[in-house]
Amino acid sequence: MPQLRLSEREYACRRDKILEVLGTRDIIGLVLFSPNNVSYFSRFGFIATERPIAYVLTAKKSVLLVPHLEIEHAHEFALVDEVIHYPEYPGERHPMEFLKELLTGLGLSNAKIGVDSDGYGRLYGYRGPKVSELLPDAEVITVVDDVEYLQMINSEEELNLIRESARWGNLAHTYLQEYCKVGVSETEISMRASFDATQAMVRTLGPEYRPLSWGGSNASAGFRGQIGKASALPHAMTSNARLRAGDVLVTGAGASVWGYGSELERTMVMGQPSPEQARFFDLMLQAQTLALDAIKPGIPCADVDRAVRAFFREHHLEPHWRHHTGHAKSTLVHEAPFLDIGDDRTIEVGMVFTVEPGIYIPEFAGFRHSDTVAVTPDGIEMITYYPRDLESLTIPI
């Protein structure tokens, strides 16, 4: 049975690393508000609402500030030295006053403090002061780049969770393809495939399994509206379309394991592909293969996208280009760095990317595969492994 959660040692290592990085700039305190960032260092996953939650870290202590309704949840899951709470938001006393009291008690009232944002975001009607307004004598410094860089490099424990995610995303997509029939709605197919894959996942992994994701998803597969002509819309919205003969289908599948995910997308065709469908499918597959072969540690992210853009020019596909080649992937939907000509950050071992150059022809169809890959010393490891060829992705009718 694979390990289905990160070890406490993993979290401790993360805290040590960020304190070491910030210490080189004399930043002695860290305050985080983003659910992803709080969870990354404390293990505490939560549903973000108008009630602010803050994680505070110094060399001597880690503290989690939560609303009263999260007390039991925080004590059960958070890897912190102390949990403190406030009654409610807005409350008679604003929650950020409790944070001010906490930071002052930790000796940070006139220190350098790193934050992922200068205050809690305007979520669900929340309004409140910034950290810099709470502590006017402190120097508040945005350190989101430092936090984000740590998240870019995945440990072996993290990679194992992403691999496990891909395993169940693969099953969900297998069901999705199997259930595709002319006249059946995308909603019915997606729900059935997702439910069946999730059932198999939960039964196989047992009581230790936790999705630990903000959306609460387990295993899922669907089309998100990319059916027929709407497949040419990269970010279409579900329309509950019914599948028809000749439709091009662009799919997506994945699963959440301890908050980590993977991305598997495929282009399928209902019935025998037309020559034009086959031509664009082949060009898309060539572009993705070129991108996969281009990823190597030590080169800029931009070089991968640049190679794909050159392929598009060579084959006169520029009118059908809509987005960059890919993005990093671990605990969020999209993450940095990006396989984009505007991102010159260096590709490093341990980074995980989606690779998904797409071709989109309005009023005809869209063509996109997405695979999740991990960067290795020699190139990449293919984490997703669903068939990519047209024959395998042609659905008989």
Query: What is the residue-level pLDDT of the chain in tens, covering all 397 positions?
Result: 678 999 999 999 999 999 999 999 999 999 999 999 999 999 999 999 999 999 999 999 999 999 999 999 999 999 999 999 999 999 999 999 999 999 999 999 999 999 999 999 999 999 999 999 999 999 999 999 999 999 999 999 999 999 999 999 999 999 999 999 999 999 999 999 999 999 999 999 999 999 987 665 799 999 999 999 999 999 999 989 999 999 999 999 999 999 999 999 999 999 999 999 999 999 999 999 999 999 999 999 999 999 999 999 999 999 999 999 999 999 999 999 999 999 999 999 999 999 999 999 999 999 999 999 999 999 999 999 999 999 999 999 9
Q: For residue 216, what pLDDT is reported?
A: 58
Reading the block at residue 155, the tokens are: 């440990």
Q: Which of 345, 323, 386, 392 is CA-nearest to residue 166?
A: 386
Spatial contact of 83 and 71, defined as CB atoms under 8 Å apart: yes
Tokens of 203: 């039964």
pLDDT for the residue 215:
60
Q: How many residues does the chain have?
A: 397
- Give the residue range(s) of CATH 3.90.230.10 domains in the chain: 153-395
Q: What totals of helices (H) and strands (E) does the chain contain, helices first?
A: 10, 18
Centre a 10 Å sphere on the Cβ of residue 50 and count the other Cβ atoms it contains: 17
Q: Which residue ranges does the chain devote to CATH 3.40.350.10?
A: 8-151
What's the CA gap between 10 and 8, in Å, rounded? 5
The token duo for 95 is: 């929650």
Please state, in angstroms and rounded to a whole number, the distance separating the CA atoms of residues 15 and 30.
Answer: 10
For 153-395, which CATH superfamily applies? Creatinase/methionine aminopeptidase superfamily (3.90.230.10)
Nearest 5 degrees, angle CA 340-CA 221-CA 324? 10
Q: How far is CA 386 from CA 87, 253, 260, 344, in A?
A: 49, 10, 19, 30
Can you give the pLDDT at residue 3? 86
Model pLDDT, residue 212 = 85
Q: For residues 318 and 66, what is the distance between their CA atoms, to the nearest angstrom?
A: 50
CATH of 8-151, one of 3.40.630.10, 3.40.350.10, 2.60.120.10, 2.40.160.40: 3.40.350.10
